[in-house]
């Protein structure tokens, strides 16, 4: 069964990458969540997408330039501001504490495409092991060197190659790097592309799939592992109808 993954939590209804968005995804019955990890200036893994705080907090500074204490003073409720209580940037430890006792898949994206965050892979993997979440996690990144470093540290952890361009024969690239999943922009997928991935034995988890027609199409494809959506409620509803 295709997994319904809440993209940055239940982000169509609640502020993305907040504990509230993850709690509501759990309440909804989503199979898991996708989220983004960076390091604060003092080396703490925090859950936030943009390198800049401008969009979510109205602050022009960068995540990497602020300590955890400084980051957690900010309200990241952005377009929901005023309609819900102020929301803080979660630490990765807070997220793991929330999901550790649940059958909930975590697709963890390392935000290292612009800033490398020296040592982030080891720091995150150490925390995954401490929480015992190795069987409920997929590591992902647009920086494929990050994924290679993850495999060197923890070859047992599954990894997914994120991409938003038309890679030639991505299934071959995935197998050559010893990765387990492709995480493409859903707009690149077609019957012909998906058939190649299936033949190669490469599972696919596209992002960010919010339209009913696209969700219906992907649910029917045999090698789709998960659908990452801002509307996990729609993925669950359409999956139930299929």
* CATH code, 3-241: 3.20.20.190
DSSP state of 49: S
Provide the annotated active-site residues.
Answer: 7, 49
d(CA 223, CA 221): 6
Residues ≥6 apart with Cβ < 8 Å to 45: 37, 38, 39, 91, 92, 93, 120, 123, 124, 127
Tokens, residue 183: 């995480």
Q: Which residues, 6+ apart, have CB-to-CB distance to 134 below 8 Å?
A: 128, 154, 156, 157
Q: What is the pLDDT of residues 96-107, one digit of tens each?
A: 999 999 999 999
The chain-wide mean pLDDT, for the chain, equals 98
Per-residue confidence (pLDDT) for residue 79, from 0 to 100: 94
pLDDT average, residue stretch 183-205: 97
8 A C-beta contact, residue 50 and residue 78: no
Residue 87 pLDDT level (bands cut at 50, 70, 90): very high
Domains of the chain, by residue range, sit at 3-241
Tokens of 84: 């819900």
* Helix or strand run (H / E) with residue 227: strand 226-229
The rounded distance, in Å, linking the Cα atoms of 18 and 4 is: 18
Q: What is the rounded CA–CA span in Å between residue 163 and residue 161?
A: 6
Q: In this predicted structure, what is the pLDDT of residue 124?
A: 99
pLDDT at residue 105, as a whole number: 98
For residue 117, the model assigns a pLDDT of: 97
Residue 100 contacts by C-beta under 8 Å, 6 or more apart in sequence? Answer: 131, 132, 133
Residue with tokens 């991935």: 197
């Amino acid at each position: 069964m295709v997994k319904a993954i809440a993209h940055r939590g239940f982000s169509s209804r609640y502020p993305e990458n907040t504990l509230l968005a993850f709690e509501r995804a759990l309440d909804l019955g989503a199979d898991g969540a996708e989220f983004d990890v960076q390091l604060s200036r003092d080396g703490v893994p925090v859950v936030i997408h943009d390198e800049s705080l401008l969009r979510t907090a109205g602050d022009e500074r960068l995540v990497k330039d602020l300590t955890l204490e400084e980051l957690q003073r900010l309200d990241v409720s952005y377009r929901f501001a005023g309609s819900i209580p102020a929301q803080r940037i979660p630490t990765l430890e807070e997220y793991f504490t929330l999901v550790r006792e649940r059958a909930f898949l975590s697709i963890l994206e390392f935000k290292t495409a612009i800033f490398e965050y020296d040592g982030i892979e080891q720091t995150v993997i150490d925390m995954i092991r401490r929480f015992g979440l190795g069987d409920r996690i997929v590591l992902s990144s647009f920086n494929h060197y990050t994924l290679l470093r993850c495999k060197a540290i923890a070859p047992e952890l599954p990894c997914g190659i994120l991409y938003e361009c038309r890679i030639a024969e991505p299934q071959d690239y995935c197998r050559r790097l010893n990765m387990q999943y492709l995480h493409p922009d859903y707009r690149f997928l077609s019957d012909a592309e998906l058939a190649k991935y299936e033949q190669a034995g490469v599972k696919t988890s596209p992002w960010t799939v919010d339209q009913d027609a696209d969700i219906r199409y992907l649910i029917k494809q045999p090698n789709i592992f998960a659908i990452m959506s801002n509307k996990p409620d729609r993925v669950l509803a359409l999956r139930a109808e299929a």
